[in-house]
Structure 1
C-alpha cells in the first residue's frame, strides 16, 4: 500500500496530477479543491494517497489532508459510493464538515454534492454515523447553513427579528438546532 508520495509535480489535468518520484511518474486522481491548492509544476509536493484496486485497474487517489484521505476510505465503505462519488462528496464537504453533517443527520446538505440524491444522502447518514470523526471543535462556521437558517427561522417565530436572531446565534457552539436555540435564548 502506498501511504503517501513526495515528489515533483510533473503535470496536471482536469482531475489528476502526475508526481515524479525519483524518475517514476505516478498519476494521482484528486479533488478539484486540492488540485487548485497544489504548487506550480516542478515544485515539490507531498500527498496522502489511497490505492483502489479493481480487477482491471489500480488507481491512486491523493489528498493534501490526511483527514480527507481517512474520510475517503470510510466513504468507500458506504453502499452506493465508489471512489469518484467519494471524491465528489469530499470536494464539496471536507472531512470535518462531513462528520458534522452526518452526526446531525443533515442529509439535505449532503445532497448539495454533485451526484448525491436524497436516497444516497439518507443512506450515507445511516451507514456512516459514528464512523467519520470530526477533528475540530464545532463552531458556527462549521455548522451547515441549513442548521443555522432553521435556528434563525425558529427564533423569528418566537418574535425576534432576523438580525437579532443572527446576533443571538453568534458564538453558539451547539450542533443541533434545538441546542442552538436553547443557548441563544439563555444568552439573550
Structure 2
C-alpha cells in the first residue's frame, strides 16, 4: 500500500495533482488547501497518501501532513461523509481549526464547507466529539476555553461568539482565547452579543 509519494509535480487539475515518481505519474486527489500549498510544476513534492479501493475504481488521496490524513480518515467514518465531502471540509479548515470546531461543537464552521448542510454539520461535530486524533492538536486558545467551560463543550452562545470573531478575521486560537477570558469574568451564560463585544475588547487590548 502506498503511504507517501515523493516526486516532481507534473501538472494540476481542479481537484488533483499528477506526481511524477521516476517516470510514473500518479493522480492524487487533494483538498484545495493542500493543492495551494504544493510547489510549482517541475518542483519536488511530498504527499501523504490514503488509497481507497472500490469495485469500480482505485483512487489516491493526498495530504500535506499526517494530521490532515488522520482527519480525512476520521471524517469519512461519519455517515454521509464520503471522500469528496471530507476533502471539502479540509479545504476550508486546517487540522487544528477542525479540532477546535469539534471541541467547541461549532457546527456553523463545519457547515461552511461545500456539500455540508446543517444536519450533516451537526452529525460531524456530534459523532466526532472526543475523537480528535492525537496529532490533530487543539490550539492553546481552545484548551483555555475548554478549561473555562469546565466540561470542554461549548453551549451555542459561546460557539457562536467564537465563530463570529473568526468570521471577523481573527484566528481560531485568538477568538477562543478572548472568549475564554470573557467567560472567566462574566460566566458562560452571557448572551452571544455580549461575548462578542467583550471578546473584541479583549482582542484590542
Report if aligned partners of 1:75, 1:86 keep a CA contact under 8 Å in 2. yes
Report if aligned partners of 2:33, 2:90 keep a CA contact under 8 Å in 1. no
Report if aligned partners of 1:109, 1:146 keep a CA contact under 8 Å in 2. no
Q: 1: distance between equivalents of 2:36 and 2:7? A: 17
Name the structure 2 match of 1:98.
Answer: 98
For residue 149 of structure 1, report the CA deviation from its aligned partner: 6.2
Report if aligned partners of 1:15, 1:29 keep a CA contact under 8 Å in 2. yes
1:138 matches 2:165:
no
Q: 2: distance between equivalents of 1:70 and 1:86? A: 11
What CA RMSD, in Å, does the superposition of the two structures yield over aligned residues?
2.9
Name the structure 1 match of 2:114.
Answer: 114
Query: Which structure 2 residues correspond to residues 23-62 of structure 1 after superposition, within 5 A?
Result: 23-62=23-62
Give the TM-score normalised by the residue count of structure 2: 0.71
1:18–1:149 Cα change, 3 Å: closer
SS of the aligned residue for 2:61 comes to: strand
For residue 180 of structure 1, report the CA deviation from its aligned partner: 4.0
SS of the aligned residue for 1:19 comes to: strand
Query: Which structure 2 residues correspond to residues 64-83 of structure 1 after superposition, within 5 A?
Result: 64-83=64-83
1:61–1:171 Cα change, 3 Å: closer
Name the structure 1 match of 2:84.
Answer: 84
1:93–1:172 Cα change, 3 Å: closer
1:62–1:150 Cα change, 3 Å: closer
1:73–1:45 Cα change, 3 Å: same
Report if aligned partners of 2:108, 2:163 keep a CA contact under 8 Å in 1. no
Name the structure 2 match of 1:173.
Answer: 177
Extract unaligned runs of 5+ from structure 1: 152-165
Q: 1: distance between equivalents of 2:63 and 2:30? A: 6
Name the structure 2 match of 1:156.
Answer: none
Report if aligned partners of 2:7, 2:44 keep a CA contact under 8 Å in 1. yes
Q: 2: distance between equivalents of 1:115 and 1:182? A: 34
Larger radius of gyration: 1
Name the structure 2 match of 1:13.
Answer: 13
